[in-house]
């Protein structure tokens, strides 16, 4: 179940007894029947609030991995009326949940805890089952009529809790007068989600035993940590679920499947650990792995990045070098070692590793950016500009990228383009007077009816508005 309960102990374990008290918004009441369209609106509202609160991880590698894995499972399910979206939350809490409309969320902490790709797939499959069977929608339909914004706030209280590293996200759901709504999955809901999830998991080619392994992993985590994992708080009836899943394996899903299909989950876990605020926690995580296997490339890479963040660059270089000796064609490691050498002012060495990284992946923005910066550091502004021009064609979201491009154009005697990118840089920095000055200067260098002039005039109009 997906909820944020108040708990009491019983002989059978944790029993949810929650009434989520929230503020009620009188306007825009939902219909008595909670429709598919209502689900879409609620899911979208919830996602946008989370995104605005900056608790979602937006990393191309993470997004690609979790959505590839999730959609592989969705493809095995009955045709859902939603477009599914899978996201990772910046939280070390061990949890995953689904909201109406096809949105599935997994906490960073859960992904870094699982031991196999198939275990993570089993979690996603369970959540897909909740969505396809419209469990939250059925609970809402039986409740009093309340608005979409209020329902989004109910979900925030239920799934995210009221404290820890997601407290800012919860407070981002603003409301106006008081009400209450109980969100409580039944045992039948959980069993149905497990049953459907097991079907998706096995049909995708994974070993069904992974679902049981994950539940047992969570039990071990509970025992050794002396805490109740967040996953158990939002998914009650664990003992019953373990027995039910075991029965499915004994009677229906007896054929062994794969633990890994997509691959590379260890690298995904390593990248996620870079987001931990507590660097000591990351250091401990990778040190434990290296004690088990001193030649684990992902753990060596993790140690290299963590040591750099701690300011211990000599140690960082050592770990990078050892990782590369074991995996010389690793694009991530070549790129990040090159970036480290650039930061140390060692442009020639930076270019060696960044060039290798580019040969392994031609469209990586960070590689292109730091190749340009490394050439600038050597005084070769023409070479730098060639890489910045490749970035121009992509979606530049970092203000510093605009600054680097502007400088390179200026140093290669292209004042019009230089002013144009300085204008974009200052606009990004919200320094509108400076932006306006550079855009107006840029106009002097381009034909009045040309494409670049039209772009500049559009930017000027937007600033004046």
pLDDT for 146 equals 62
The domain ranges of the chain are 7-251, 266-410, 411-465
pLDDT tens sequence across 397-429: 677 888 888 998 999 999 999 999 999 999 999
Percentage of the chain modeled with pLDDT above 90? 59
Residue-wise pLDDT for 349-369, tens only, equals 999 999 999 999 998 989 999
β-pair type (7-10, 13-16): antiparallel
CA 401 distance to own-chain centroid = 23
Whole-angstrom distance, CA of residue 244 vs CA of residue 255: 17
Q: Extract the tokens encoding 270.
A: 């390593």
By DSSP bridging, strand 85-89 and strand 96-99 are: unpaired
Instruction: Please check whether residue 162 is in contact with residue 4, taking contact to mean a CB–CB distance below 8 angstroms.
Output: yes
pTM of the model: 0.78
Cβ atoms 297, 277 nearer than 8 A: no
DSSP calls for 412-425: TT-HHHHHHHHHHH
Mean pLDDT of the chain: 84
Question: What CATH fold (topology level) applies to the domain 266-410?
Answer: 1.25.40
Identify which has the larger pLDDT, 230 or 188.
188
- 101-110, 198-207, 275-284: range with lowest mean pLDDT: 275-284
Contact 137/10 with Cβ under 8 angstroms?
Answer: no
| Residue recorded with tokens 């229906």 | 252
CB atoms within 10 A of CB 239: 13
Q: Residue 141: pLDDT above 50? A: yes
Closest CA to 218 of 66, 96, 83, 400: 96
177 confidence band (pLDDT: 50, 70, 90): very low
- The lowest-confidence range among 18-27, 290-299, 345-354, 360-369 is 18-27
Q: How far apart are CA 59 and CA 19, in angstroms?
A: 36
Residue 161: predicted pLDDT: 59
């Amino acid at each position: 179940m997906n909820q944020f309960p108040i708990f009491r102990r019983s002989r059978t374990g944790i029993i949810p007894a929650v009434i989520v008290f929230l503020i009620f918004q009188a306007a825009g009441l939902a219909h008595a029947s909670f429709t598919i369209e209502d689900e879409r609106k609620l899911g979208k509202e919830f996602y946008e609030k989370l995104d605005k609160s900056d608790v979602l991880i937006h990393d191309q590698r993470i997004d690609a991995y979790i959505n590839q894995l999730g959609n592989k499972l969705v493809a095995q399910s009955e045709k859902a009326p939603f477009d599914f979206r899978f996201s990772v939350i910046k939280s070390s809490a061990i949890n995953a949940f689904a909201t109406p409309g096809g949105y599935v969320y997994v906490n960073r902490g859960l992904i870094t805890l699982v031991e196999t790709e198939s275990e993570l797939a089993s979690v996603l499959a369970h959540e897909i089952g909740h969505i396809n069977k419209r469990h939250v929608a059925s609970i809402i339909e039986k409740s009093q009529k309340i608005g979409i914004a209020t329902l989004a706030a109910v979900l925030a209280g239920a799934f995210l809790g009221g404290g820890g590293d997601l407290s800012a996200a919860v407070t981002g759901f603003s409301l106006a007068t008081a009400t209450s709504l109980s969100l409580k999955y039944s045992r039948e809901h959980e069993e149905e989600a497990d049953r459907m999830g097991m079907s998706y998991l096995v049909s995708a080619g994974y070993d069904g035993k992974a679902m049981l392994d994950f539940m047992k992993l969570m039990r071990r985590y509970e025992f050794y940590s002396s805490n109740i994992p967040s996953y158990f708080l939002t998914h009650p009836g664990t003992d019953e679920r373990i027995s039910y899943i075991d029965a499915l394996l004994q009677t229906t899903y007896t054929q062994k499947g794969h633990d890994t299909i997509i691959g590379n989950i260890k690298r995904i876990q390593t990248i996620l650990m870079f987001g931990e605020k507590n660097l000591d926690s990351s250091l401990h995580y990778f040190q434990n792995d290296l004690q088990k296997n001193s030649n684990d490339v992902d753990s060596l890479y993790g140690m290299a990045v963590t040591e750099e963040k701690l300011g211990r660059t000599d140690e960082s270089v050592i770990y990078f070098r050892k990782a590369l000796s074991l995996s010389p064609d690793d694009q991530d490691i070549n790129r990040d070692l090159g970036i480290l050498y650039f930061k140390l002012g060692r442009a020639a060495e930076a270019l060696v590793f960044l060039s290798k990284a580019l040969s392994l992946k031609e469209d990586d923005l960070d590689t292109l950016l730091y190749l340009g910066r490394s050439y600038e550091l050597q005084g070769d502004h023409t070479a730098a500009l060639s890489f910045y021009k490749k970035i121009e064609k992509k979606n530049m979201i970092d203000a510093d990228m605009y600054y680097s491009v502007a400088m390179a154009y200026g140093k290669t005697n292209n004042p019009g383009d230089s002013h144009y990118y300085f204008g974009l840089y200052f606009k990004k920095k919200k320094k509108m007077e400076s932006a306006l000055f550079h855009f107006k200067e840029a106009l002097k260098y381009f034909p009045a009816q040309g494409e670049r002039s039209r772009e500049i005039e559009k930017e000027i109009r937007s600033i004046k508005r």
